[in-house]
Structure 1
Amino acid sequence: MSQDTLDPFRKPPPPPTAADDAPKASNRWWVLVVISLAQLMVVLDATIVTVALPDAEKALDMSEANRQWVVTAYALTFGALLLLGGRIADFWGRKRAFVAGMVGFAIASAIGGAAQNEAMLFGARALQGVFAALLAPAALALLAVTFTDAAERAKAFAVYGGISAGGSAIGLLLGGVLTEYASWRWCLLVNVPIAVAAIAVAMPLLRESRAEGNTRYDIPGAITVTLGLAALVYGFTRAAEESWTDGRTVAMLVAGVLLIAVFVLIQQRSAHALLPLRIVLDRNRGGSLLAMLLIGAAFIGSTLFMIYYMRLVLGYGAVKAGAGALGITVGVFITAGASAALLPKIGPRIPMVVGALLCAGGTFWLTFITVERQYLTHVLPGMVLIGLGLGLVFTAVASTALIGVQEHDAGAASALINAVQQVGGALGTALLNSIATTTISDYIADKQGSGGDPNKILLDAQLDGYTTAFAWAVVIMVVGAVIAAVLVNAGKDALPREGAAVHVG
């Protein structure tokens, strides 16, 4: 066993050649297993806690305004630091970054599973996002340097892509099973044995590799964008607790906008920018990413209330609620393949616009939910429509965001697709949760002293809050569709060839 295997955190040797870097054929598929476990863990944690959230909220006495931090703390740090994590993995060493990310993710998961209060849980989720931002790009880079044969690489990335696509659905189901038959805490603790097993296999198999070139990191950029996004999320949260005109609410929202403006200035002047602005200033790329930001914000934010509706209003158990959300996954799988076949024939704009409008239509369907158990007529059709739309949007955005990108920007552009989705989800969840919570509070205040049944009033208030959040989500999705229609004008011939760039999932 080499010294590098015994001590993966020491300064790595000069980058090996492709032939030296690739493990033996008998070991490569075990490397794929390890990397797939890591990717599954990262993707699972975006959804696994959603089904468990009502239980965690009750156990830790969270407020309705603060509960969204369980989702947003992870998505915010993951999305904001993903580009920096990829750069660190490239220059620090991919094996080193992978192992450090796995260890850190497992420790953060253990802290979250043992949380005694909401602050401890929120902090653990944020820490998970930090290490996921290091782990995900390292895993993908290791996959690329391990499988050098074109046919084998295609098979490996097919497995990786399948896990990325299906991980969210697995997270909903697994979250329901663990919550109902064990505890909500196991939705976090389950990562520990997965990480231990992956590290045990990874240490002797993975070979170190790193990139040459400028190894300086844009730390000021990473700090300002993370603090700016956190300030916006906190401002949305405080608006639910106080009001939109509260002095501290306004101050945090203004601070968030200013910090993001400072981030843009840093990117303009930095020689080693975290996000080279040329990537997002392209009309097609910028338009598709902005549409993804809005659609992701509305969809991920809405998912929280779909689960809460099934669990608190319809009275579904955790497993049934997790299974009830799979209509979205079915829709995605139906249209994702069809969209990939359509893009070379009609270009990206039509699928992107139609997909966004299908998402809006499905979410609008959910505004008609009632307190009755009418899942098949009031919930499932809306979810399937949303899934059909997402399949079209995600495939079109993934292709359009890479149009005309230079070779040295391909990694950043690919990672940006996922970063935008995570950041949008964090902001959308915080905003829609604030709208729903405010609506619920106002409804209850209006009904106080009316002499009605308190339980019925609370149920009606929750329904009013959820449908209001869905309505605002519809507006956001329609805006996304308009942006795609106006800005995205690439023709079918402009799309990159299949496999031109690798997406960090």
Structure 2
Amino acid sequence: MTLSPPRAALPPADQAHRSATLLVGCAATLLVLMNYSAPATTLPQTAAGLGAGPTGQVWILNGIALGLAATLLTAGTLADDHGRKRVFLIGSAALAAASVVCAAAGGTLVFVLARIVQGGASAAMLSASLGMIAHAFPPGAPRVRATAAWGAMIGAGLTAGPPLSAVLAQWGSWRLVYWVLGGVAALLTLAGVLRLRESRAETPRRMDVPGVLALGLGLTALLTALTQGRAGWASVSVVALFAAAAVLLAAFVAIEARSRAPMLDLSLFRRPPFLASIGGALVTGLAVIGPLTYLATIVQVAHGFAPLEAAGMTAIWTSVSAVSSIVAGRTRLPGRAQLAAGLAVGAAGDLGLLGTASHWSWGRASAALVLIGIGSGLANAALARLSVESVPAGRAAMGSGANNTARYIGGSVGVAVAVAVVGAARTAAAGTDVMFVAAAVVAALGAVLALALRDRTAGG
């Protein structure tokens, strides 16, 4: 019998670099998701402090999603071509500055604009951090565990953000959370300067300016239409925004098809793992993030939950998701099989929430939320892995940007659909049930499609 040689240990300097990259990257993702979810439990206080009306309140919640979705793919491409550390540091410094503006804002417009800037800064941090992790960890078990840890920070950040914001608001003011998060962003910038190494693609490309403009403006129009549409989908401005989004996004596809150095190589959509990465992220947003985000509002209206009670309910889902994602990094399931399993378990959890608007049971709801958390964790770990393994070497940040763009668009569409479905139903309870049945169907279809895609690569 022939024994294989022992695996050579990494030099201490390389091991320290990997550890630092993973620590800073995970801390950045945790911070971004905490900041993303922070206003959820302090919206009444924030709106009162800024003098915001109903439309302003919607933008207080969704301004950061607009900034994220509109810039994630661009940020990832810039990181790969011009330096992942550089883009990360620009993003973390911008997040610190925008957080200070949020904390000191005297009116709704300034606050919302600062949240949009926070979204762009967060996009830079998310895409660059996963790109740096993929560069530091070679394909195989080490990268699977590292990307699973990164994916776990999504659930952890969503868990920690709302209660931290609520507690700080009780201690002082709703503004306090932005001072704290801004300070953490500044510390992360310093840590990045001292501990991160620069990396970029071996063959960097020139910036695809027409593609950047078409995609950014198209996604901005789409997200603005989805946000404004909650006040009335048939208004002239909303219809015009949807039309502009369709034209601009079609122009983006045409530009990328003809470009010699496209920001998004359209041939990637012929790769099953890339399709699974984008489709799975979109389905996760539609079937999990959207309905679960709106459920927090439903239980406050239907059952009189206090904001902290609603945050505690949401934390069941998000905290289980964080743990499940870390455990998923230790499994040997192929990425697409793990994604399909996560979506299937999430679909079962969605069905378990039927009837929650008419009759609340903590036991039954908690069991369903645990199922959704397990499914979310499996899916998040698989999506982080697929997003870097489904693209060419050196384009990991772009892969991360494309994946997360789909996730946040799916989440925004999911919330808009949830609001429309519940609002159009005869009763809120009936509408909520329709919402969860639809979410379960979408998740189940996503699971089937993830398995049906024939994989021709080792990464999926």
Write the deviation string for residues 367-415 of structure 1: whole angstroms up to 9, x where unpaired.
Answer: x444xxx451464344223223323444455566677654355553344
Find the aligned partners of 1:389 and 1:144 in 2 and give their Cα distance.
Answer: 24
CA drift of 1:22 comes to 9.5
1:304 partner letter: T
Instruction: Give the equivalent residue in structure 2 for 1:181.
Output: 171
Find the aligned partners of 1:227 and 1:40 in 2 and give their Cα distance.
Answer: 28
Find the aligned partners of 2:446 and 2:55 in 1 and give their Cα distance.
Answer: 30
Q: Is the 8 A contact 1:44 1:171 kept in 2?
A: yes
The one of 253, 258, 262 equivalent to 1:269 is 258
Unaligned runs of 5+ in 2: 1-10
Q: Is the 8 A contact 1:359 1:388 kept in 2?
A: no
Structure 1 residues 286 and 92, CA gap change in structure 2 (3 angstroms): closer
Find the aligned partners of 2:91 and 2:190 in 1 and give their Cα distance.
Answer: 14
Q: Is the 8 A contact 1:295 1:356 kept in 2?
A: no
CA drift of 1:37 comes to 3.3
Structure 1 residues 158-177: aligned runs within 5 Å: 160-177=150-167
Structure 1 residues 248 and 319, CA gap change in structure 2 (3 angstroms): closer
The one of 190, 203, 216 equivalent to 1:200 is 190
Please state whether the residue corresponding to 2:97 is helix, strand or coil. Answer: helix
Structure 1 residues 303 and 117, CA gap change in structure 2 (3 angstroms): farther
2:125 partner letter: L
Please state whether the residue corresponding to 2:233 is helix, strand or coil. Answer: coil
1:294 partner letter: V
Please state whether the residue corresponding to 1:307 is helix, strand or coil. Answer: helix
Instruction: Give the equivalent residue in structure 1 for 2:403.
Output: 417
The one of 398, 413, 434 equivalent to 1:471 is 434
Find the aligned partners of 1:345 and 1:100 in 2 and give their Cα distance.
Answer: 32
Instruction: Give the equivalent residue in structure 1 for 2:7.
Output: none
1:388 partner letter: I
The alignment status of 1:245 with 2:231, answered yes or no, reads: no
Q: Is the 8 A contact 2:156 2:319 kept in 1?
A: no
Please state whether the residue corresponding to 2:42 is helix, strand or coil. Answer: helix
Find the aligned partners of 2:141 and 2:239 in 1 and give their Cα distance.
Answer: 55
Please state whether the residue corresponding to 1:116 is helix, strand or coil. Answer: coil
Q: Is the 8 A contact 2:214 2:251 kept in 1?
A: yes
Paired residues, number: 449
Instruction: Give the equivalent residue in structure 2 for 1:131.
Output: 121
Q: Is the 8 A contact 1:224 1:259 kept in 2?
A: yes
1:39 partner letter: T
2:101 partner letter: I
The alignment status of 1:383 with 2:366, answered yes or no, reads: no
Find the aligned partners of 1:479 and 1:41 in 2 and give their Cα distance.
Answer: 30
2:278 partner letter: L
Find the aligned partners of 1:138 and 1:193 in 2 and give their Cα distance.
Answer: 20
Structure 1 residues 317 and 295, CA gap change in structure 2 (3 angstroms): same
Q: TM-score, normalised by structure 1?
A: 0.75
Find the aligned partners of 1:126 and 1:79 in 2 and give their Cα distance.
Answer: 10
Structure 1 residues 109-128: aligned runs within 5 Å: 109-128=99-118
Write the deviation string for residues 405-446 of structure 1: whole angstroms up to 9, x where unpaired.
Answer: 54355553344222211221233234434555x559xx9xxx
Please state whether the residue corresponding to 2:333 is helix, strand or coil. Answer: helix
Structure 1 residues 202-351: aligned runs within 5 Å: 202-241=192-231, 243-283=232-272, 285-286=274-275, 289-311=278-300, 313-332=302-321, 336=325, 337=327, 341=331, 343-344=333-334, 347=337, 351=341
Q: Is the 8 A contact 1:57 1:67 kept in 2?
A: yes
Find the aligned partners of 2:433 and 2:209 in 1 and give their Cα distance.
Answer: 37
2:261 partner letter: H
Find the aligned partners of 1:26 and 1:340 in 2 and give their Cα distance.
Answer: 22
CA drift of 1:314 comes to 4.1
Q: Is the 8 A contact 2:200 2:394 kept in 1?
A: no
Structure 1 residues 52-71: aligned runs within 5 Å: 52-71=42-61
Find the aligned partners of 1:439 and 1:258 in 2 and give their Cα distance.
Answer: 29
Instruction: Give the equivalent residue in structure 2 for 1:503.
Output: none
Instruction: Give the equivalent residue in structure 2 for 1:427.
Output: 413
Q: Is the 8 A contact 1:22 1:147 kept in 2?
A: no
Write the deviation string for residues 106-142 of structure 1: whole angstroms up to 9, x where unpaired.
Answer: 1111112222232222211110111112223333444
Find the aligned partners of 1:488 and 1:94 in 2 and give their Cα distance.
Answer: 33
Q: Is the 8 A contact 2:291 2:435 kept in 1?
A: no
Structure 1 residues 39 and 408, CA gap change in structure 2 (3 angstroms): closer
CA drift of 1:293 comes to 1.0
Find the aligned partners of 1:69 and 1:83 in 2 and give their Cα distance.
Answer: 22
Find the aligned partners of 1:250 and 1:234 in 2 and give their Cα distance.
Answer: 11
Find the aligned partners of 1:137 and 1:229 in 2 and give their Cα distance.
Answer: 17
Q: Is the 8 A contact 1:89 1:97 kept in 2?
A: yes
2:398 partner letter: A
Write the deviation string for residues 343-381 of structure 1: whole angstroms up to 9, x where unpaired.
Answer: 359945852552352243144343x444xxx45146434
2:233 partner letter: W
Unaligned runs of 5+ in 1: 1-20, 444-463, 501-505
Q: Is the 8 A contact 1:356 1:393 kept in 2?
A: no
Q: Is the 8 A contact 2:85 2:196 kept in 1?
A: yes
Structure 1 residues 352-431: aligned runs within 5 Å: 354-366=344-356, 368-370=357-359, 374-377=360-363, 379-397=365-383, 405-407=391-393, 410-431=396-417
Structure 1 residues 465 and 215, CA gap change in structure 2 (3 angstroms): same
Find the aligned partners of 2:181 and 2:286 in 1 and give their Cα distance.
Answer: 26
Write the deviation string for residues 37-60 of structure 1: whole angstroms up to 9, x where unpaired.
Answer: 323211212222222223323433
Structure 1 residues 340 and 37, CA gap change in structure 2 (3 angstroms): closer
CA drift of 1:63 comes to 3.8
Find the aligned partners of 1:303 and 1:421 in 2 and give their Cα distance.
Answer: 14
Find the aligned partners of 1:148 and 1:330 in 2 and give their Cα distance.
Answer: 28
Q: What is the alpha-carbon root mean square deviation over aligned residues?
A: 3.9
Find the aligned partners of 2:135 and 2:126 in 1 and give their Cα distance.
Answer: 15
Find the aligned partners of 2:340 and 2:27 in 1 and give their Cα distance.
Answer: 36
CA drift of 1:66 comes to 4.5
Write the deviation string for residues 259-298 of structure 1: whole angstroms up to 9, x where unpaired.
Answer: 2111111221122222211222445642563343133134
Find the aligned partners of 1:149 and 1:248 in 2 and give their Cα distance.
Answer: 48
